[in-house]
Amino acid sequence: MTHLTIKDIAKYSGTSVSTVSRVLNNHPDVSEKARAQVMQTIEQYGFVPNNSARNLVIRESDTIAVVVRGIANPFFTRIIKTIERAIYSAGYSMSLHQIGSCEDELMTAAMVEREKRLRGIIFLGGRFNYAPADVAMLRVPFVCCTYANTFGALERDSFSSVAIDDKREAYRAVRLLLERGHRRIAALIETEGGNSISQLRYEGYRAALEDAGVPFEAALIECAGSFEMEDAYRAATRLQERTEFTALFAISDAMAMAAMKSLADEGKRVPEDCSVIAIDGLEMTNYCVPTLTTLEQPAEEMALECVRILEGLLQGDGKNSHVFMETRLREGTSVLSIK
Amino acid sequence: MTHLTIKDIAKYSGTSVSTVSRVLNNHPDVSEKARAQVMQTIEQYGFVPNNSARNLVIRESDTIAVVVRGIANPFFTRIIKTIERAIYSAGYSMSLHQIGSCEDELMTAAMVEREKRLRGIIFLGGRFNYAPADVAMLRVPFVCCTYANTFGALERDSFSSVAIDDKREAYRAVRLLLERGHRRIAALIETEGGNSISQLRYEGYRAALEDAGVPFEAALIECAGSFEMEDAYRAATRLQERTEFTALFAISDAMAMAAMKSLADEGKRVPEDCSVIAIDGLEMTNYCVPTLTTLEQPAEEMALECVRILEGLLQGDGKNSHVFMETRLREGTSVLSIK
């Protein structure tokens, strides 16, 4: 059976790839004229203008895989949504693969690559320490989304990444607490010393204290052992039993929300008795009481940038690149100035 | 190239399909002996015991698709995790497809079915009103997860479903408020009169009031227009500007959390000035202050039941069935007795 690509249809109908994509995906924002042109082309070449045509025109070799590690991460939901839309608009199809946080995203990607003859891969979340041998089995371009493989040993021009600078953003969050007069600032992290986002954000915390001349105190650090709210809640409780502090930096919004609950259960008011700040900018922490002050990751922009880089690589006019995006301070009511 | 199925390997190695699956997926809970047997068989038949073997043994025709509608629904994350594990344990592979809440899950499923020669489909979220013509294009068994196609016209033995009885559970939630002395009970719903989960839960609200002899009052109903927290927040604010009430029933946890924020912003304390109850049992509402009293859906059990039904259908020893599961009351601190 003849396979028309989305590009063929664009050419024959005198429209663009993204217009054809929108028509085939039933997007509302297509002019009636363009829709008619696309439909006419499809009919003319013998394809019915419905989902089976759509099935035929998107060939398997137009597939970009999105491999999501850490299915429970609510931050990823927003990113996936935007990535999906951008992939379709660029004329590709998307194959989504969610893996547990202990599984190996590279193995999954290599398997999927063989099965589906992928064009490219976007890793959403992953290990921070790939070595060249690890990625040798991948034969298509890939973009690391939300991490920059900081602890790894890959050649910088052999892959792409779009992320925030975790260390710098943690530094910003803690500096904000320092600027508002806090000196005893606790840190709620996942684990110390790992090759992870937790370590990077922890390093930012330490750098901010150091630059402000505030001595580091080990008693103010507590490891939750995971990013789960349940574990973060218990870690925050241990922290309060052990020492006093006027502010808490949590490495993620979800952990901060659990910590605020722990503070409330211990009879402390946020922010009067303890200020709380985090990084992520989830929707839910905009609706808790008090709302969380947090550095919001630009989810949509990161998603679009990943697809843009991959599209450039696939079309031959782009090259691997590494983009750090900045967070935006979303001021809630969880931080008090005590100056 | 020869394709060994997972069943072949189980047979040749004298183990079970689920053992082979666990070995291939690197699950920890496999005895060393069983692992050695499986590995030996794989090597004997010329396959290397790594992911490329795994790739070969899981044939495309062993694929079960999970089509998720409403990617932003945090309740689905837990369900997907369990479904995925159960599908692999049963010796099948899973293909995950997320679609927007306005897209048609049946079309997506039909496309995927053709592309991947599916064995079966699990719909996670979907329209409540399928007609026989709508599903005619599906040629494999399917299970509706979290909805029972209540407003549809399908023969009951032509499909399966696993859900909670939304009307009955809403009835339970509102009856709890009535039993604790509330009479002016507001309802925060998505939309009135649609063929949706919102309508079923709204009917449960009305039935509970009616059975308790509490006259219905239209001013106490507010439609958010969506399930989004942003819209729920605004709807809760409109409700408070219009009328007085001592308790609020929200049709979902996320909407309840947004409503609690709106109550706080209007200077009302939960539960002293207004009690709040909902249905879902999300993790986040267990960490907000106050914690939400809610009817928790048995996510894991629902997921396992879907796969169990589908597995029975595929093995030929099961038949289509419809299972209603019960929620569990998760008592938070958001409901006050005013008797």
Give tens-digit pLDDT for A141-190: 999 999 998 888 899 999 999 999 999 999 999 999 999 999 999 999 99
| Beta carbons of A298 and A326 less than 8 angstroms apart | yes
Give the C-alpha separation, B186 to B183, whole Å.
9
Place of tokens 């019915």: A48
The H-or-E segment that residue B121 falls in is: strand B120-124
**Burial (CB count <10 Å: 0-12, 13-18, 19+), residue A209:** buried
Whether A226 and chain B come into contact, CB under 8 Å, resolves to no
Band of pLDDT at residue B26, cut at 50, 70 and 90: low
E-assigned strand segments in B210-292: 221-223, 247-250, 275-280
| Beta carbons of B222 and B189 less than 8 angstroms apart | yes
pLDDT tens, residue by residue, B182-237: 999 999 999 988 888 999 999 999 999 999 999 999 999 999 999 999 999 999 99
| Beta carbons of B60 and B116 less than 8 angstroms apart | yes
pLDDT tens, residue by residue, A48-65: 333 334 444 444 468 899
Give the C-alpha separation, B162 to B164, whole Å.
7
Band of pLDDT at residue B73, cut at 50, 70 and 90: confident
Across the interface, whether the CB atoms of A96 and B100 are under 8 A apart is answered no
CA–CA–CA angle A121, A166, A134 (5° rounding): 35
Substitution target from B66, B95, B115, B284 for chain A, most A beta carbons within 10 A: B284
Tens of pLDDT along chain A (339 residues)? 234 567 777 877 888 878 877 777 667 778 888 888 877 776 666 443 333 344 444 444 688 999 998 766 778 888 988 998 899 899 888 888 887 767 788 888 888 887 778 999 999 988 888 888 888 889 899 999 999 988 888 999 999 999 999 999 999 999 999 999 999 999 999 998 888 899 999 999 999 999 999 999 999 999 999 999 999 999 999 999 999 999 999 999 999 999 999 999 999 999 999 999 999 999 999 999 999 999 999 999 999 999 999 999 999 888 999 999 999 999 999 999 998
Substitution target from A283, A286, A291, A334 for chain B, most B beta carbons within 10 A: A283
Across the interface, whether the CB atoms of A74 and B71 are under 8 A apart is answered no
Across the interface, whether the CB atoms of A72 and B77 are under 8 A apart is answered yes
Across the interface, whether the CB atoms of A229 and B107 are under 8 A apart is answered no
Whether B189 and chain A come into contact, CB under 8 Å, resolves to no
E-assigned strand segments in B70-208: 93-99, 120-124, 142-145, 160-164, 185-189
Give the C-alpha separation, B126 to A319, whole Å.
41
Average confidence score pLDDT of chain B: 88
Give the C-alpha separation, A46 to A236, whole Å.
64
Distances (CA, A) of B188 to B141, B191, B261, B309: 36, 9, 14, 34
pLDDT for res B277: 98
List, in order, residues 6 or more apart from B51 with CB less than 8 Å away. Answer: A107, A110, A111
Place of tokens 């006050």: B336
Query: Which of B71, B103, B287 minimises the CB distance to A229?
Result: B287
**Residues of chain A found within 8 Å of residue B289, distances taken between Cβ atoms:** 260-261, 264, 288-289
ipTM of the complex: 0.78
pLDDT for res A183: 97
Tokens of B337: 């007795």
